[in-house]
Chain A
Amino acid sequence: DGGITQSPKYLFRKEGQNVTLSCEQNLNHDAMYWYRQDPGQGLRLIYYSQIVNDFQKGDIAEGYSVSREKKESFPLTVTSAQKNPTAFYLCASSINSYADEQFFGPGTRLTVL
């Protein structure tokens, strides 16, 4: 089945530790995105990538880092510099950056203790 996978579904980390969230897609999409969602709020863009080996900061990139070494993979690292990392993280992809529809993964709920 084609789609976007994010793992794990739930993730717990101690304060001060870096953690990497996985996002993989087999849709052959060029563009990929990372969003953050806090309780009762909409989604906010962290980083996006229009093509392999390229990525741009979104609205709330501070404390996060990404890489795009392969077309199908767009991992997000939450660093210790992120002040409030506990949130629901969503990865999405689209055919290209001009596409009408973005396809979302199931999300990873990160809790920092």
Chain B
Amino acid sequence: DAKTTQPTSMDCAEGRAANLPCNHSTISGNEYVYWYRQIHSQGPQYIIHGLKNNETNEMASLIITEDRKSSTLILPHATLRDTAVYYCIVRAALNQAGTALIFGKGTTLSVSS
């Protein structure tokens, strides 16, 4: 799987948009970008994923650059409950030889009032 690079930590004011960047310069053509988050001492939670088009769901938006070498997760109106570690992961959707997600250290997002 391609490696990802994320900032170690970010801060965001409550009610503002949180923009979390991720670099994945070695991503392959068949690899998707996934985002998960982990609130302290809980299991990770799926947020969103995409291949090359921008994606939006009830939790967040995912913006992928045209060359697919980087992406940004956007939480449009951050709340205190969005404080968590956010993981950017790339993997092939049809990976037959090891199907688990590879989690790096992620970005610790701190939302404050």
Contact = CB atoms under 8 A, between A and B. Distances in A.
Nearest to B106: A42
A96 B74 CA distance: 28
A50 B100 CA distance: 10
Nearest to A48: B100
Contacts of B95: 97-98
B103 A43 contact: yes
Interface of A: 4, 31, 33, 35, 40-45, 48, 50, 56, 58, 88, 90, 92, 97-98, 100-107, 109
B99 A104 contact: no
Contacts of A103: 46
Contacts of B113: none
Contacts of A42: 87, 102-106
Interface of B: 32, 34, 41-46, 49, 87, 93-96, 98-106
Main SS class of interface, B: loop
Contact of A107 (B41, B46, B100): B41
Contact of B100 (A41, A45, A105): A45
Contacts of B93: 98, 100
A102 B101 contact: yes
A42 B88 CA distance: 11
Given A40-B105, A42-B104, A106 B99 contact: no
Given A100-B49, A106-B43, A58 B34 contact: no
Nearest to B32: A100
Contacts of A33: 100
B93 to A, nearest CB: 7
Given A40-B105, A97-B99, A105 B43 contact: yes
A102 to B, nearest CB: 6
A102 B46 contact: yes
